[in-house]
Amino acid sequence: MTLYGWIQILVFCALVVALTKPLGGYMTRVFNGERTVLSPLFAPVERGLYALAGTHGREEQHWSGYAVALLLFNLAGLLLLYGLQRVQAGLPLNPDGMATVAPDLAFNTAVSFVTNTNWQNYGGESTMSYLTQMLGLTVQNFVSAATGIAIAVALIRGFARASAKTVGSFWVDLTRAILYVLLPLCVVLTLAYVALGMPQTLDAAVTATTLEGAQQTIARGPVASQVAIKMLGTNGGGFFNANAAHPFENPDAISNMLQMVSIFAIGAALTNVFGRMVGNERQGWAILAAMGTLFIAGVIVCYWAEAAGNPLVQALGLQGGNFEGKEMRFGIPLSALFAVVTTAASCGAVNAMHGSFTALGGLIPLINMELGEVIVGGVGAGFYGIVLFVVLAIFVAGLMVGRTPEYLGKKIEAKEVKMAMLAVLCLPAGMLTFTAISAVLPGAVASVGNSGPHGFSEILYAYTSAAANNGSAFASLSANTLWYNLTLGITMLVGRFLVIVPALAIAGSLAAKKSVPASAGTFPTDGPLFVGLLVGVIVIVGGLTFFPALAVGPIVEHLAMLAGQSF
């Protein structure tokens, strides 16, 4: 580890914290329906969209109506994206003549982008036409991210309102998230990326002649616009197979830093939105502090492990850190930081190959996802994910002091705890069940590129990434098979919608309750004690659930490496 490396990490943290309050304030005004600097431009568009949809900006829905609207909207998006892939060969904007996508891969991809996972069992530049990339994948990048933001805002209203029957309107929240938040930020980011050297064109691939005289096909396309939303919306799906390791998707250290900050920006800002809407900004900073504590711990371990290197390689006389699978233009610090950022948020974009990390370096991305993607997490999804753990932490605190748990004046009762547990437990159920089956199923094992514990980690990482709606992978797993396409798709659906519905049920339950004034016995939830309790609950739940699987994967791989064995 070097001082220069730590300076880069500290600069990233400072930029995220600096953006949290101004972006949070702007988003609060947007979702409260207040006038913003962009209102003169987008308000007429917003009203026109409501008129087309047969609604209006003041519409409100019960939590169940909100959930039904959300589910039907996402189902429609899934069917449209699947159909687009199945007929892309006969559609325009296909200058490179991409063929129709196979049914199982089209299903996996449609589910992946609708659930904000962006798991890719294909190479983007060799599978998808420009039309599919733009009309299908990029559109879902916007609406899946906006869906996550909408749910987070609905849950915040549950805490902020009292004796209310509604939690807002899904259609209004979705529209405002896209028009006022995602779209303008993406326009700015796209222009910045083009200035930094990313392609943005509808022309076909070009053929170049190398110095040796060989012919090389260089793919290009509308890259910058897709990268902007893939990072800001924590989608992560790459235009190119190499994702953010590709020089056309991530040219230099400046674009790398801009992408990492984009991944965290909205997720961090939503904690400030929460504090503002409930009338106490310290509550939002406390949640962000818990996220930050877990994030910094992960960065320290991952950076240390990669900088320490592989003793088996060092025994051959090659000293230094672990550079396998990393781009030299980023080095170890920015590769380790990017890996932690992209798995702390449910982004999944990669600028280095996680399967080439050391055992402990690869352990951190796994743990980040297994904790439920609550360390900032996906846009919106990270916030409502950590609120589920807040409910559990408050319940534990209530048990310890022998009184009814309360949070922000709302009593946390059996219904809220049951819904939180349902959402929290569905993730390990999806991750571990299919991992166990795939570890013994001959056809599934045949796709594993490595033997021993690292091979097991490939399978575990795949289903963990799918259930956590992350999308990154240990790329040595050949997952474009019927088994993996179907089971990973099912796991993505479980990880997305079996968390969303309980979260909305909690929002509706809390919104209907009366606010209880704080008393001398009320547990303070805006200080270090609460932050420590919340971090402890998250770590203990994740640790107890996944430790056996981790023990036979990355942990035993690390011990074997120290003993002089390789896999």
Q: Which residues contact 280 (CB under 8 A, 6 or more apart)?
A: 408, 526
Q: What band does 565 get if pLDDT is binned at 50, 70 and 90?
A: low
Distance between first and last Cα of the chain: 26
Per residue in 166-213, pLDDT tens?
999 999 999 999 999 999 999 999 999 999 999 998 888 888 888 888
Per residue in 335-376, pLDDT tens?
999 999 999 998 989 999 999 999 999 999 999 999 988 999
At 202 the pLDDT is: 85
Per residue in 123-132, pLDDT tens?
877 889 989 9
At 400 the pLDDT is: 80
Tell the residue number behind the tokens 């080095």, with chain if given. 331
At 240 the pLDDT is: 84
Amino acid at 540: I
For every residue of 11-26, which 3-state class applies, written as one string? HHHHHHHHHHHHHHHH
At 315 the pLDDT is: 81
Please check whether residue 420 lies inside any domain of the structure. Answer: no
Please check whether residue 199 lies inside any domain of the structure. Answer: yes
β-bridge mates for residue 326, sequence order? 352
At 501 the pLDDT is: 94
Please check whether residue 412 lies inside any domain of the structure. Answer: no
Please check whether residue 113 lies inside any domain of the structure. Answer: yes
Please check whether residue 438 lies inside any domain of the structure. Answer: no
Tokens of 51: 């008129």
For every residue of 446-484, which 3-state class applies, written as one string? CCCCCCHHHHHHHHHHHHHHHHCCCCCCCCCCCCCCHHH
Instruction: Give me the helix-helix angle, 281-308 and 528-550, nearest 10°.
Output: 40
Per residue in 470-495, pLDDT tens?
999 988 899 999 999 999 999 999 99
The domain containing residue 208 runs over which residues?
Answer: 20-281
At 404 the pLDDT is: 76
Please check whether residue 316 lies inside any domain of the structure. Answer: no
Tokens of 329: 């233009």
Q: Is the pLDDT of residue 507 over 70?
A: yes
Q: Is the pLDDT of residue 309 over 90?
A: no
At 288 the pLDDT is: 95
Other CB atoms within a 10 A radius of the CB of residue 484 amount to 26
Per residue in 31-56, pLDDT tens?
999 999 999 999 999 999 999 888 88
Give the total number of structural domains in the chain. Answer: 1
Tokens of 567: 């896999």
At 567 the pLDDT is: 59
Region 378-393 average pLDDT:
91
Q: Is the pLDDT of residue 543 over 90?
A: no
At 517 the pLDDT is: 82
Please check whether residue 152 lies inside any domain of the structure. Answer: yes
At 109 the pLDDT is: 95
At 566 the pLDDT is: 62
Please check whether residue 551 lies inside any domain of the structure. Answer: no
At 500 the pLDDT is: 94
